[in-house]
């Protein structure tokens, strides 16, 4: 019995395929069928949700791992329909198919479903109030899954990065090699989380659940999956540069000036407080990710190895 992995070409999808391959028969899918390294997988265009049902009927997956997502936070402000199609309408189709075919759905969501106006880490059951189109589309996807009534896990994560793909760490390494001085926002707080850690935790969760987990299993539902600790984008950048110098990726660390969100306007509003409480994941599955600083060191070391 196969497990369908959507978004297999993205940074999370790549790590999920790598770690889950020994565990199940993974069918990777991307929008054009192309996979990293030149391999080929299934063609599944989540930007056209109506096209998904025939593919799902043909593949008959017992588990759907939906790592496909529209993640261009700022561009979503000018492309709300596309963000909604990928992050909500396609998810609704998958969830309804899973409900009708007794399949398990795993879906990754985001800290952007919250408004950032909190003084403690966000719990999975806290009220959502997204600030922008990206967050609204992801929240709509979550709501569609719950409304469909399928067996599901929604894993909210935050500030995801990896040694490949487009992410903050890779951007900082590029601009840090080009400039002596940078300005980075210091009043947005969250938890940088490596995609590889998310994938490894997902594999552990699936191993403990089993694909035949009952709908009444209390471990199903919504959990937060993030590294331990917290920092600002400014703190994240300084950690990246310090580790990059130690690893030999940079000759010297640029000066990093701490600025306020107001000093760096963007099309989309971002939550100032994005720290997620992952205690329900620990209670349900016995999982707690290490401190975020360790993740930075591991990814930088991976890049240094080439």
* Separation between Cα atoms, residue 70 and residue 89, nearest integer Å: 12
Give, as one character, the DSSP assignment of residue 121.
P
- Check: CB of residue 8 under 8 Å from CB of residue 33: no
Which residue in 70, 134, 161, 264 is the catalytic one?
A: 134
Q: How far is 122 from 162, CA to CA, in rounded Å?
A: 24
Residue identified by tokens 């040694």 is 163
**What distance in Å separates the CA atoms of residue 47 and residue 146, rounded to the nearest whole number?**
21
Token pair for residue 150?
């399928």
Q: Which two tokens stand for residue 144?
A: 């569609």
SS3 content of the chain, % helix, strand, coil (to 5): 45, 20, 35
Please confirm, yes or no, whether 134 is among the known catalytic residues.
yes
Instruction: Kindly list the catalytic residues.
Output: 134
């Amino acid at each position: 019995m196969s497990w369908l992995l959507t978004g297999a070409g993205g940074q999370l999808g790549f790590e999920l395929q790598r770690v889950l391959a020994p565990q199940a028969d993974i069918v990777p899918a991307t929008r054009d069928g192309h996979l990293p390294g030149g391999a080929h997988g299934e063609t599944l265009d989540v930007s056209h949700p109506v096209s998904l049902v025939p593919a799902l009927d043909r593949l008959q997956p017992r588990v759907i791992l939906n790592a496909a997502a529209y993640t261009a936070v700022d561009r979503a402000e000018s492309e709300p329909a596309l963000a909604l199609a990928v992050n909500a309408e396609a998810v609704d189709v998958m969830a309804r198919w899973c409900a009708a075919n007794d399949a398990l759905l795993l879906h990754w969501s985001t800290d952007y479903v919250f408004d950032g106006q909190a003084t403690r880490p966000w719990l999975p059951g806290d009220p959502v109030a997204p600030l922008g189109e990206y967050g609204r589309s992801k929240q709509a996807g979550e709501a569609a899954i719950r409304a469909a009534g399928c067996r599901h896990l929604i894993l909210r994560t935050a500030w995801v990065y990896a040694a490949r793909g487009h992410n903050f760490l890779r951007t900082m390494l590029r601009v840090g090699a080009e400039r002596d001085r940078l300005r980075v926002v210091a009043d947005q707080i969250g938890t940088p989380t490596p995609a590889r850690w998310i994938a490894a935790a997902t594999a552990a969760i699936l191993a403990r659940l089993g694909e035949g987990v009952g709908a009444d299993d209390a471990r199903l539902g919504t959990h937060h999956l993030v590294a331990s600790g917290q920092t600002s984008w400014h703190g994240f950048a300084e950690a990246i540069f310090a580790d990059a110098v130690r690893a030999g990726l940079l000759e010297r660390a640029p000066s990093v000036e701490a600025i306020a969100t107001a000093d760096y306007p963007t099309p989309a509003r971002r939550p100032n407080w994005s720290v997620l409480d992952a205690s329900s994941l620990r209670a349900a599955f016995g999982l707690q990710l290490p401190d975020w600083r360790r993740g930075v060191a591991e990814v930088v070391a991976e890049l240094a190895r080439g």
